[in-house]
Chains A and B, each alone.
Chain A
């Protein structure tokens, strides 16, 4: 594995209007690096959903993207409340988002399922009251 290109972003949990900024930035970088559109699409969707989740549920966090020749690794870390029932949260349509979030077009219960669907592997490390780290890999 050659040396990775790494990006790190702070996701602001107080500003819903800037949610997605890190994902848009990563998309532009991957495009500049010449990655195929379908790979960029997968990474963009998975990262955007993760970013939105951190804003909705965890008051923000950090997003790190490591780009290797054969894999792109996205690591999302927050110090939010943790996910009490991961299996339930993984079900399409299940959401704990508040009504004000739903009126913005979110809270459809598609976040984690989309992250899993558009990546080749996803690991969730969550601790109640401490936070959640999600690691996703997209292979080229």
Chain B
């Protein structure tokens, strides 16, 4: 499943550039967490990273760990600086009002559809 397919299937907001090529990245695996040192060592390349943390340091961690995208849950906002830095680093930011748990369940259901 690509990032774009995920966004459509789960009705997610695309908070970064809607035409950036990273929307075509394939997602493989999920990490849920907000502590950046944990995320730094646990987020794998191509993961879907679900978090409530939306400061610029999240973008630095993503630039180093290379997830397919970051999904901000529970209606967490990303300010303009964070969005701009995400775009600069080729990172897709998505948003949803749902909880991390609900998003994981929904993603899991969708995997079968796309596999």
- Tell me which of B34, B41, B53, B64 contacts A110 (CB under 8 A): B41
Name A1-60 residues within 8 Å CB distance of B.
Answer: 16-17, 19-21, 23-24, 27, 37, 41, 44-45, 48-49, 52
In the bound complex, do residue B37 and residue A49 qualify as a contact, i.e. CB atoms below 8 Å apart? Answer: yes
Count the B residues whose beta carbon is within 8 Å of the partner chain — how many? 21
Using A45-B64, A106-B36, A108-B35 as known contacts, say yes or no to A19 and B41 having CB atoms under 8 A apart: no
Q: DSSP class of B's interface residues: helix, strand, loop or mixed?
A: helix
In the bound complex, do residue B56 and residue A17 qualify as a contact, i.e. CB atoms below 8 Å apart? Answer: yes
A44, B41: Cα distance in complex, Å: 10
CB of A117 within 8 Å of the partner chain: yes
Contact with B along A67-93 (1 / 0, CB 8 A): 000000000000000000000000000
Q: Give the B-binding residues of A (Cβ under 8 A).
A: 16-17, 19-21, 23-24, 27, 37, 41, 44-45, 48-49, 52, 104-106, 108-111, 114, 117-118
Q: List 26 A-B contacts (CB under 8 A).
A: A16-B57, A17-B55, A17-B57, A20-B57, A20-B60, A20-B63, A23-B60, A27-B63, A27-B64, A44-B64, A45-B40, A48-B40, A48-B61, A49-B37, A104-B55, A105-B55, A105-B57, A106-B35, A106-B36, A106-B37, A106-B57, A108-B37, A110-B38, A110-B40, A114-B40, A118-B41
